[in-house]
């Protein structure tokens, strides 16, 4: 045997081993432990024909919260950071904002004062940043922001702050015939601008909060105008309500991280047949953020209390994940 051939065999064997070890571990960013085992075991027993827990492919529906479950949500929901950036961008055309709340505080970077403006302030921010334009115009604005803006702490692109372990779960479920949906408090059109690229989830499988739109023919060209009027808040009880409206199946797997996901977890898991609920618990102050019961954003209190009783998996981010961020978009 010539040395070159031997080398070729060694390399080939190595590649086969690597690829088969990859095939053997679809969740390489998950450390061995109860969380990882629970995911693997549930998928195996619901997708193996002949087992009593087998689920036909059309019923394999898995729903995922986005903020805090698929990507980071600190120091504030990224969509709020988008809105604040947008106000700064529009400010030169609105000199009056320097003297008017909530814009004055946004421009002064005084987030506490912005928060103090309450719901009325948020509604005004949403109205000028999310409404009064066509859906196509809004999509262009979001697309530009999401591909250029950077996170205040990590300086990463926001899309690089999706969680690699969760991207692995999404891919693993799809490989096993599960249909993956986002069901999030975030704006539906906002999330669609990156959901396909980052999560492999097409627009029709993204469910979120929404504002009303209005159809118009403008010089023979149809447009949808975004109105400053809430259509649906996809949070808390709104999640199962929207799951029924948009999907019309009861999911068998639900993934969340906060009390806003409580009713979605209940709706998914408190029913006949095999059911799976998982909560991402943010325990890693070093690599990400650590917060739960007293956090203003992504508060996890009631759902954490219920988890043990309901048999929901609580992921300890620090312990269970060998890597946190995806870094480069997938």
Binding residues (CB under 8 A) for a second copy: these are 58, 135, 179, 188-189, 192, 196, 202-206, 210, 212-215, 217, 220-222, 224, 231, 237, 240-241, 244-249, 263, 266-267, 270-271
Q: How far is the CB of 299 from a second copy (least distance, A)?
A: 19
Q: Which is nearer to a second copy, 133 or 247 (CB)?
A: 247
Q: Which is nearer to a second copy, 21 or 231 (CB)?
A: 231
Q: How far is the CB of 301 from a second copy (least distance, A)?
A: 17
Dihedrals phi, psi of 214, to nearest 5 degrees? -135, 125
Of 79, 71, 63, 55, residue with least CA distance to 205: 63
Between the alpha carbon of residue 124 and those of residues 110, 120, 233, 291, 295, the distances in Å are 16, 6, 16, 29, 24
How far apart are the C-alpha atoms of 115 and 113, rounded to whole Å? 5
Give burial (CB, 10 Å; 0-12/13-18/19+) of 158.
buried
Q: How far is the CB of 58 from a second copy (least distance, A)?
A: 6
Q: Which is nearer to a second copy, 131 or 224 (CB)?
A: 224
- 318 touches 280 (CB < 8 A): no
Q: How far is the CB of 146 from a second copy (least distance, A)?
A: 16
Q: How far is the CB of 235 from a second copy (least distance, A)?
A: 12
Dihedrals phi, psi of 182, to nearest 5 degrees? -95, 135
Q: Which is nearer to a second copy, 44 or 214 (CB)?
A: 214
- 209 touches 185 (CB < 8 A): yes
Q: Which is nearer to a second copy, 250 or 318 (CB)?
A: 250
């Amino acid at each position: 045997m010539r040395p070159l051939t031997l080398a070729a065999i060694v390399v080939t064997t190595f590649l086969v081993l690597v690829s088969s070890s990859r095939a053997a571990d679809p969740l390489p960013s998950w450390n061995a432990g109860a969380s990882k085992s629970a995911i693997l075991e549930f998928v195996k027993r619901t997708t193996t024909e002949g087992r009593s827990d087998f689920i036909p492919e059309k019923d394999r529906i898995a729903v995922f919260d986005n903020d805090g479950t698929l990507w980071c949500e600190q120091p504030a929901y990224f969509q709020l950071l988008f809105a604040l950036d947008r106000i700064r961008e529009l400010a030169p055309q609105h000199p009056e904002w320097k003297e008017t709340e909530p814009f004055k505080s946004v421009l002064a970077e005084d987030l506490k004062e912005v928060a103090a403006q309450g719901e009325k302030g948020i509604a005004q921010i949403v109205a000028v940043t999310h409404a009064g334009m066509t859906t196509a115009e809004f999509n262009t604005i979001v697309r530009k922001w999401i591909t250029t803006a950077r996170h205040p702490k990590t300086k990463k692109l926001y899309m690089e702050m999706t969680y690699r372990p969760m991207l692995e779960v999404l891919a693993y479920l799809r490989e096993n015939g599960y249909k993956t949906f986002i069901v999030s408090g975030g704006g539906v059109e906002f999330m669609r601008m990156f959901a396909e690229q980052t999560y492999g989830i097409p627009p029709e499988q993204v469910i979120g909060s929404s504002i009303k739109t209005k159809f118009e023919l403008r010089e023979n060209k149809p447009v949808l105008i975004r109105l400053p009027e809430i259509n649906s808040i996809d949070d808390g009880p709104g999640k199962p309500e929207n799951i029924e409206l948009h999907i019309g199946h009861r999911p068998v797997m639900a993934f969340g991280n906060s009390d806003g996901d409580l009713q979605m977890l209940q709706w998914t898991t408190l029913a006949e047949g095999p059911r799976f609920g998982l909560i991402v618990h943010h325990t890693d102050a070093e690599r990400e953020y650590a917060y739960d019961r007293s956090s203003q954003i992504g508060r996890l209190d009631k759902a954490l209390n219920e988890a043990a009783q309901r048999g929901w998996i609580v992921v300890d981010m620090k312990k269970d994940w060998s890597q946190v961020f995806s870094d480069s978009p997938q």
